[in-house]
Amino acid sequence: MKAPDRTIAEWRLRTRALELGRRTLVMGVVNITPDSFSDGGRFLDPEAAVTHALRLLDEGADILDLGAESTRPGSRAGGAAGSEVAPAVSAEEEQARLLPVLEGILAARLQAIVSVDTYKAATARAAIAAGAEIINDVSGLRWDSGMAAVCGGFKCGVVLMHTRGRPEDWRTQPQLAPDELLAAVRSGLAASLAAAVHVGIAMESVVLDPGYGFGKRFDENYALLARQAELLSLGRPLLAGLSRKSFLGRTLAPLYAGTTPNAESVAFAPVEAREAASLAALVAAILHGASIVRVHAVRTAVEAALIADAVLGAHRIT
């Protein structure tokens, strides 16, 4: 396999900058929701969420990504097994969940780098005012017309993710051939990047995310992962979020046949059984050009990233 051209780049945030490409950075997920597919409800209490976030920092997280609204899709499009599309949350409720946790983290660890996972401009504005350095927009600036101006005005770091359609569309979207899929992801990310630059967001402030599981049917995610490095041609570093995704659980499902009373209906490995698969996907993403990985279990991800980085380093030497 040819090593990807994961060049050294600066990611300019609101008050500081991060070097990307020399080593993989690990972004730890903190879901402040009752309904996220992985750990919904576990960290809805602000004190529990702050404690969890500080633990992730102690385990080696470079960035914390706080989310207060689930964008979980329905099960037939690659989301949580048996789930329906997550209900929308108002900006007011989202902020009521999010801001106490953000403030608690920064009160305990002033230098922590916090990203906020939101597509709402009002929540982004409030989070940046409270100290967030990065806005992680799963819609790539598409779902709220005010988001680009907020990010440009505050000059924060931005993650632009590719999403094909909206969550309610994902269950019925037609399958795409690998070439069609790559073209759709590339053109979507290029359009989001152009929109960002148009409103004054610096290229150096942007990281791109292929959006695994977001409008991609199960096997499409593997086709995307296998060709992820092609997206580096867009000129910005890549973030990959593969942790515990349902397409991994679907691949593992045969291992769990016969382990439940309704074995014939097992379509997914349970979420708690997807950690090894998540690490395998994480390593593949790094070897295919990702500079940042978004994960739930930080310590093992840090260790896996060190090994993947060593492989990349050895490839360059030889």
- Say which residues have a Cβ less than 8 Å from residue 90's Cβ, sequence separation at least 6: none
Please give the structure tokens belonging to residue 36.
Answer: 């996220």
CA 188 to chain centroid, in Å, comes to 16
Q: Of the listed 244, 245, 250, 274, which one is catalytic? A: 245
CA atoms within 13 A on the CB side of 23: 13
Q: Of the listed 97, 164, 236, 294, which one is catalytic? A: 294
CA atoms within 13 A on the CB side of 298: 20
SS3 content of the chain, % helix, strand, coil (to 5): 45, 15, 40
Active site residue 120: no
Classify residue 255 as left (phi > 0), alpha (psi -120 to 50) or beta: alpha
Active site residue 155: no
CA 142 to chain centroid, in Å, comes to 17
Rounded CA separation 264/250 (Å): 14
Nearest CA-CA partner of 41 in 28, 52, 32? 32
Nearest CA-CA partner of 138 in 160, 123, 158? 160
Give me the active site residues, please. 245, 294
